[in-house]
Structure 1
Amino acid sequence: MADDQAKVKLYWLERSRAQNILWLLEELNIPYELETFRRVNRFAPPELKKVHPLGKSPVISVTPPGSAEPIVLAESGFITQYLCEHFGSETTMMPKRWKDGQEGKVGGETEQWLRWQYFLHYAEGSLMPMLYLGMVLGALKGPTVPFFLRPITSLVANQLIAKLVFPNAKKQLAFLEQQLETSGGDYLCGPDLTGADVLLSFALITAKDSFEAFGAWDEGGPRKLFPKFFAYIDRLDAHPGHKKSVEKIKQIDETLGTEFPA
C-alpha cells in the first residue's frame, strides 16, 4: 500500500454484520486488511474488546497517511458514513449533498442525500430491533429449547410475535414499499446503489424468507402486498458487488473452519 494512502483494517467476526462493511469496502475500491475472529459460544471473543471496548463487530480502524495512530470506528451506520464521506467521491455510495448554489444552507440538501442520511440511522434504530426481536422469539420455538419446555416457550413467543413483531413488521414493510415507490429509482435513495442500501442488505436478505412466519398476512402473503420491497431485496441479492462479497466471505469462513450459511 502506498505511503500516501490511508490504511484501513476490518475486524471480521464470522456470521456478523461485518459482511455489510466488506461489501462497502469493495464498492469503494479501498485497499484493506482483514483481522478475523471466531465466535465463542455464539458470542464475539474477548479479544475484540482490545480493539473496541464493547467487543462487537463490525469495527474498522483507519490510519491516516503519515500517522501511526489509527482511528477506531464502531457502529455500522457511523462506519458507513465515515468511509463514504472520505472515500466515496468517485462512487455512487454517497449521493451529492448540496443542491447547486445552496451549499451550507439549511434546506439546501438534496432529497437523495437526506434519504441516505436517514437510512444510515434507520437501519439500526428502527429495522434491526424488530428483526432481532423476531429472531430471538423465533429461537424460543426451536430445537435449542428442551422439548418438554417448548410448548410453553412457543406459546409465549407466539403471543409476543403477534402483539409486537407482526404489527411492527407490517408497518416497516409498508414504509419501505412507499420509500421505494417515491425514490425515483430502483434503490432507496434513487437510481443508484448507495452505502445505505449496502448497510441494509445483510439484514433484509437474511430475513426475506422469515417475514411470512411473523403472522397471518392477507391473501398472497407479504410478497404480494409489498412487491417493490421484495423486488428490491432480490435486486440487492443479485447485485454483482453483493455476489462478489459473498464469494469473498465464503473464502474467509473457510480459513476460519466455518461454513458460510446458505
Structure 2
Amino acid sequence: MAGLRPTLHHLNNSQSQRILWLLEELEIPYDLKLHQRVKQRAPLEMKETHPLGKAPQLETGDGRVIVESLVIAKYLIDTYDKTGKFKGDGNKNDWIRDDELCNLASASLGAPMVVEVIMTAAVKLTPFFVRPLISLVHRQLRRGYSGPELDLYFKYLDAQLGNQDYFMGSAPGRADFILSFPVDTCTGAGFIDLKKYPKMEAWHARCRERPAWKRSLEKGNGYDMTFNF
C-alpha cells in the first residue's frame, strides 16, 4: 500500500488545504490536480472522480477514491507515516484524544461555524432593502448562539494545548491538520479574535511557520478565508 502514489484533487479556498499540508509533511511522492471554484462552488469536473463533486478527494492509486478530510488524513498517516511522527507522543496524546479533537473540529465546532458562514453570506448576498433585517437576525444568532459556542470551543482548545507545541505533542498530528481549517475559517472571516486565546494564537502561528505549510501554499491555487463574495 505504501508504494501507491496518491493523487489529491485540491480546490482553492477550501478544506483540502489541510490535506495538501499533510502530504507535504509526509514528504511522499504524490500528484496534485488543482481545481478552481466557479461562483464559490466546486466545478462540475470534480464529479468525474466522485459523485459528490466536493474537495478534498484522494485517489489512492489502486482505483479507490476517498472523500472526507478526517478519513483521508487517517488513511495517509496510517499508510505512509511509518515512523509514527504524526501519530502523537503517547500517554494522553493517543488515538482517543486524536479522535475526540478531530470530531470536535468537524462536528461540535462545525455547527456554530456553519451558522456564521451561512449568515455572513446571507447578509452580503441579500438585496440592500432587506439587508438590515438579515443583519439583525445575524446579530441575534451570534449573540445568543454562535458567538458563545465558538468562544466555548476555542477556550477548551486553548486549555487543551497546555504546554505542548501541538495538540498531539511535539509534532502535529491528525487533530492539528483537521483543526487548522475551522480555525482558519473563523479567524479569516472574523468570527473570532484569536488574540483572546493566546495558546491557540501561538499554535496557529507555529503551524504557519512550518516549511511544509509554506510549500503547500506555494503548490496550491489560493487559500483566502476572508469570504469575499
TM-score between the two structures when normalised by the length of structure 2:
0.87
Alignment of 1:208-223 (within 5 A): 208=187, 210-212=190-192, 223=195
Q: For residues 68 and 136 of structure 2, what CA distance do their matches in structure 1 show?
A: 34
Post-superposition CA distance 1:118-148 (Å, at most 9, x none): 2232221122232222122122333x32211
Q: Where does 1:1-262 land on structure 2 (aligned, <5 Å)?
A: 5-63=3-61, 69-90=62-83, 92-95=85-88, 110-113=91-94, 114-142=96-124, 144-181=125-162, 184-208=163-187, 210-212=190-192, 223-224=195-196, 226-249=197-220, 253=221, 261=224
Amino acid of the residue matched to residue 69 of structure 2? Answer: S
Kindly state the Cα deviation for residue 239 of structure 1 after the two structures are TM-superposed. 2.4
Q: Which runs of 4+ in 1 moved over 6 A?
A: none
Letter in 2 for 1:90: T
Distance in structure 2 (CA, Å) of the matches to 1:130 and 1:234 = 24
5+ residue gaps, structure 1, are 64-68, 98-109, 213-220, 254-258
- The higher radius of gyration belongs to 1
* 1:24-74 alpha-carbon deviations (Å, 9 max, x no partner): 0011112111222222222112222221221111010112xxxxx422111
Q: CA RMSD in A?
A: 2.3
Percent identity over the alignment is 33
SS in 2 for 1:152: helix
Q: Secondary structure at the match of 1:10?
A: strand
The higher relative CO (CA closer than 8 Å, separation ≥ 6) is in 2
| Residue ranges of structure 2 left out of the alignment (5+ in a row) | none
Structure 1 residue 91: Cα displacement: 5.3
SS of the residue 2:123 aligns to: coil
Following superposition, the deviation at residue 171 of structure 1 comes to 0.9
Give yes or no for contact 1:24–1:80 (8 Å, CA) kept in 2: yes
Deviation at 1:234, TM superposition (A): 1.9
Q: How many residues align?
A: 223
